[in-house]
Chains A and B, each alone.
Chain A
């Protein structure tokens, strides 16, 4: 093998199961992951109406422990992690000194002095390196736990019932964005009420050697409720409908949280200095004085599908760029998330189109999300 060959993709603990189910596999951030098992549209609808089971073992877990764990995270991230209660989780970001977004994260506080940071697969090394570097001077340990966990997600309206069948954990007492240790199908798991689909659901962090057993138990428990295995393809259309950002699309190092419309995750009021404070203070002032491009939803009037990178146009001028696009199984029409000039960002703005390979197709501007589940 020559040095120019791509490295062999990593396989999750569930790889053999995916292959036995006939999954179409795809390379994702260096991992060989299931893209879909059958029709991605059917998998999407299953999550919206019943439940779906995902293997998300490619996500990057990093454990931060020690007396200064909270102080370290408050310094390294833009959020106020010291204020997160034990057993709760928070959506936050890690930025560069210039304010550019390195990654968006979910951080679970597992104990007073123990946090688990979950990074996107594509950024896990970058986040690990940044946390390790930023830990200098803090009495805290940053541990690479990427190989310590497999991650399964059960998502959809039937997911509480399915999970209850295989655990004694108090799911009714488990709030959205909270996590608790428990036993699921006989194996120890961190049970978190989080997800990336716009539905109620759970993410289960377990030892890799326990993952196949847990998968089989969940599939058996969910058989009557219509639980189906789901791949990354439907995960993308589900999060798109739910208006959730995806790193590399809506979020990049070129943008600050204020440019992405997510300035609320930056907590200037927390104690101590944090990486990016100065640049982010300026970014906040800039955004206030001169509104940046706004992240909006676009719904196609026709059937041609917008793709990331396509220009958004009005009056023959480029007024923005599509960051994600796909046909929506729920709405039955193509959707896009796009950054557009503030002048065209109001819902109902007329004359907005997407340049689809030379043809300007009309789109309706709407507020995100496209889809919100009934509570």
Chain B
């Protein structure tokens, strides 16, 4: 598995794109999707909601467990991925593409995020 170079990563296994059109896209990594197993339900924050870095903003349910979804950054939700709500298996099949979760207008500078290489080392360690 490879973690795309252009993304930033949190230690809670979310990825964050560079800002495009004022918002960054957030998803969970392939490593996290594999660890969860088949994702069967996602609950995402609502458009317009304010999220805080490192705090829970939703849920991911797999066959065996329920996990909190954290936001890697603080900001305002501008869009959520309805496709992944309708078909949660996209989180497993396309974690870095069609399985993205939400877009957020980032408030301030995100802190403590990892580069792709740092994240790869983090999950290996």
Q: Which residues of A contact B (CB under 8 A)?
A: 24, 35-36, 39-41, 233, 237, 303-305, 307, 326-327, 334, 357
Contacts and interface: CB of A to CB of B under 8 A. Distances in A.
B63 A327 contact: yes
Contacts of A357: 66
Contacts of B61: 304-305, 327
22 contacts: A24-B34, A24-B37, A35-B64, A36-B37, A39-B38, A40-B37, A40-B63, A41-B63, A233-B64, A237-B63, A303-B40, A303-B41, A304-B43, A305-B41, A305-B61, A307-B66, A326-B63, A327-B38, A327-B40, A327-B61, A327-B63, A357-B66
Q: How many interface residues does chain B have, given as a range?
A: 10 to 19
Interface of B: 34, 37-38, 40-41, 43, 61, 63-64, 66, 92
Contacts of B92: 39
B123 to A, nearest CB: 15
A233 B38 CA distance: 11
B90 to A, nearest CB: 13
In this complex, the member of B34, B40, B66 whose beta carbon has the largest number of chain A beta carbons within 10 angstroms is B40
7 closest cross-chain pairs (CB), A and B = A327-B40, A303-B41, A41-B38, A305-B61, A40-B63, A39-B38, A40-B38
Contacts of A237: 63
Nearest to B92: A39
Given A24-B34, A35-B37, 18 more contacts: A35-B64, A36-B37, A39-B38, A40-B38, A41-B38, A41-B63, A233-B63, A233-B64, A237-B63, A303-B41, A304-B41, A305-B40, A305-B61, A305-B66, A326-B64, A327-B38, A327-B63, A334-B40
Contacts of A35: 37, 64
Contacts of A36: 37
Nearest to A44: B63
Main secondary structure of the interface of B (DSSP, over half): mixed
A79 to B, nearest CB: 33
Contacts of A24: 34, 37
Contacts of A304: 41, 43, 61
Contacts of A39: 37-38, 92
A233 B40 contact: no
A182 to B, nearest CB: 35
B32 to A, nearest CB: 13
A372 to B, nearest CB: 22
Contacts of B37: 24, 35-36, 39-40, 233
A334 B62 CA distance: 11
Contacts of A41: 38, 63
A316 B64 CA distance: 27
Nearest to B40: A327
A47 to B, nearest CB: 14
Contacts of A334: 40
A190 B63 CA distance: 33
A310 B43 CA distance: 19
Contacts of B43: 304
